Structure 1
Amino acid sequence: MLTRRHTLKLAAAGLAAGAAPAFAQEDWKAKYPELIFAIIPAENASGVVERYTPFINYLSKELGTKVTLRIANDYAAIIEGQRAGNIHIGMYGPASFARALMTGAKIDAFAIETNIDGTKGYYSVFYVKKDSPYQKIEDLKGKNLGLVDPNSTSGNNVPRFALNSMKIDPESFFSKVVYTGSHENAIIALSQGTVDIAANWWNDEQESNLLRMARKNMAKAEDYRIIYKSEQIVNSPMAYLTTLPEALRAKIRDAVLNIATKDKVAFDKIYEGKQGPLVAVDNKAYDPIIELNKFVDELRKKKSS
């Protein structure tokens, strides 16, 4: 596992969720007749809508107020939306959440995804086509690299960290570095030959973005090979505005942390039985990711100087 200064490590998260005081009045409903829940674009928009609509309906019912799903155009959009206070609840990747904290967003992480075995981490991987001759990163000099988004953890920051440890500068080593916009698009770019190697997220042998695409008949998982896997990264968080009334935040926490049992159908629609329940977390779990972001920022500064 990587150290905080030089690598990633899986941060433990075990804070109790807490509960709203019994006497708390729901006077927040007049001020918040609608809550905006936004998510980073990890897959195409129609896929996000299908996956999250039952959850949005569940959350609306539990809170007793309208909740609207918003799919961010890119990772930066959800950060800016929460900075401006226009997005009340956000589903992030680790690096985008850390970036939001670094840029002054008044938000708190309150729930984290877990794996079936209870762990709270995933990996960044590099895929190549199965029938390609490439066996290691060094074999791809002069080829095209597919990344996801500048604020993606597994799709940019961890890959850049890993390449730097191999003494590889992506912009000079590869012929072209392409930001594809989503993890699905990165696989599509690889399948179409737009890129020769693509970064992506991978949980374990049972779940990854590639396997999700395969279940939707968007790709054949057996057509690709992993040639690099990172150290484990702390899983993705859900975060709400700290400016929301505590009674409302408590209701949101309770609803989200109990969805796996209260509405298993909605929960399974999101994770398809491939992940464990959401559990409590706090901002400190993402301190190592803030350090990673700072490291990548320094790399950019060195290149531009």
Structure 2
Amino acid sequence: MKHLLAILAATTTLAGAAQAQDITEFNIGILGGENAQDRLTNQECFRAKIEETLGVPVKLFAPADYDGVIQGLLGGTIDYAWLGASAFAKIHLTDPNAVELKLTKQNIDGSTGYYSIGFARADSGITSIEDAKGKVFAFADPNSTSGYLVPGAELIATYGPLEQYFSEVKMSGGHEQSIVGVHNGDFDAAVSWADGLGNWEDGYNSGAFRRAADAGLVDMNNLVEIWRSKLIPEGPMVIRSALPQEVKDKVTTLTADLWETDPECAYNVAAGDAKDFVPVDLSAYEGVLAARKLQEGM
């Protein structure tokens, strides 16, 4: 969508340009899901591009869990992040004015959603959630959409309390930990995320499986899909509302044009193959907001 948002730059006022000089750095938060060094390495090209565009130092932050990014955006220590829908919902329900929705990932087929994928080792004899009954099951993180909120709700609706259905329910700490944990036999089954397009043996086109396969952490032929959620709205890229308008416009335009200007960097940011980064608004997350309210007892 090259230049789709270029009009934003054209409408920046002189006052906005003066405001932009007030920022002395820009901080990008990266959600958990893989080890910190891999997260930083995959996002380095993006960091460098934003630094060149803004003319101030840009830093990457890879907290140990999702809540580190959530609290950073709420507290003003993180300026920009690609969130899962559930993580965004937590921010919006805490402070609806903290961040602005900007973009989301568009898949190769034009869709803007993904799936929570249940999986097990191919040699485990587990080919369905029913086969996983009485086994050790792992979710990723309490603030993960595909790694907890959606699969937890769907599985409970079908099978009842999961602590009674599985022998043990664990939080792995992230999507990579879930995938490697099942691959290595630490968990019998787990859930992680993927666009569900392309080939299983590649880790699908994009998502946590693709990232793990690309990194050589797992051989996807050793794993098997055992369950799939309903389609989940792809999480949003958000920027802190209090930033100068010129800064918000420049970062949004750079991201929106990334697949055209640097496909390799866009692949790293998107965790695999995708079509584009496209605008998104609050209506995309109404269902997740409602689910999060229930989870929080609001």
Structures share fold, TM-score greater than 0.5: yes
Equivalent residue letter for 1:75: Y
Query: 1:247 — aligned with what?
Result: 246
Distance change (3 Å), C-alpha of 1:102 and 1:153: same
Distance change (3 Å), C-alpha of 1:131 and 1:104: same
Query: 1:144 — aligned with what?
Result: 136
Aligned to 2:275, the other structure's residue is in SS state: strand
Q: Please give the TM-score of this superposition, normalised by the length of structure 2.
A: 0.89
**Cα offsets for 1:37-70 (capped at 9, x unmatched):** 1010121112111110001101111222221111
Q: Of residues 33, 55, 76 in structure 2, which corresponds to 1:42? A: 33
Structure 1: unaligned runs, 5 residues or longer = 1-14
Bigger mean CA deviation after superposition, 47-56 or 211-220: 211-220
Query: 2:261 — aligned with what?
Result: 262
Distance 2:72 2:271 in 1: 28
Query: 1:283 — aligned with what?
Result: 282
Distance 2:276 2:178 in 1: 28
Equivalent residue letter for 2:146: S
Aligned to 2:104, the other structure's residue is in SS state: strand
Distance 2:152 2:295 in 1: 7
Equivalent residue letter for 1:250: D
* C-alpha contact (below 8 Å) 1:91/1:236 kept by paired residues: yes
Question: Do residues 51 (structure 1) and 42 (structure 2) align?
Answer: yes
Equivalent residue letter for 1:89: Y
Equivalent residue letter for 1:26: A
Q: State the 1:31 CA deviation.
A: 2.2
Query: What does 1:1-305 correspond to in 2, within 5 Å?
Result: 19-20=8-9, 21-24=11-14, 25-104=16-95, 106-203=98-195, 204-205=197-198, 206-207=204-205, 208-271=207-270, 274-298=273-297
Distance 1:220 1:55 in 2: 28
Equivalent residue letter for 2:49: Y
Distance 2:43 2:26 in 1: 15
**Cα offsets for 1:134-155 (capped at 9, x unmatched):** 2321222221111000000110
Identity %: 28
Distance 2:49 2:231 in 1: 31
Aligned to 2:143, the other structure's residue is in SS state: coil
CA RMSD of aligned residues (A): 2.0
Q: State the 1:127 CA deviation.
A: 0.2
Distance change (3 Å), C-alpha of 1:22 and 1:195: closer
Equivalent residue letter for 1:51: N
Aligned to 1:118, the other structure's residue is in SS state: coil
Equivalent residue letter for 2:66: Y
* C-alpha contact (below 8 Å) 1:29/1:65 kept by paired residues: no
Distance change (3 Å), C-alpha of 1:18 and 1:231: farther
**Cα offsets for 1:244-263 (capped at 9, x unmatched):** 12222111211111122233
Distance change (3 Å), C-alpha of 1:134 and 1:190: same
Distance change (3 Å), C-alpha of 1:199 and 1:273: closer
* C-alpha contact (below 8 Å) 1:75/1:151 kept by paired residues: yes
* C-alpha contact (below 8 Å) 2:46/2:265 kept by paired residues: yes
Query: 2:201 — aligned with what?
Result: none
Distance change (3 Å), C-alpha of 1:295 and 1:90: same
Q: State the 1:74 CA deviation.
A: 0.7
Q: State the 1:171 CA deviation.
A: 1.6
Equivalent residue letter for 1:54: C
* C-alpha contact (below 8 Å) 2:122/2:221 kept by paired residues: yes
Equivalent residue letter for 1:81: G
Distance 1:17 1:294 in 2: 36
* C-alpha contact (below 8 Å) 2:5/2:253 kept by paired residues: no
* C-alpha contact (below 8 Å) 2:210/2:272 kept by paired residues: no
Structure 2: unaligned runs, 5 residues or longer = 199-203
**Cα offsets for 1:115-149 (capped at 9, x unmatched):** 11111000001101111222321222221111000
Instruction: Give the aligned length.
Output: 285
Distance 1:283 1:262 in 2: 28
Equivalent residue letter for 2:59: T
Q: State the 1:17 CA deviation.
A: 7.8
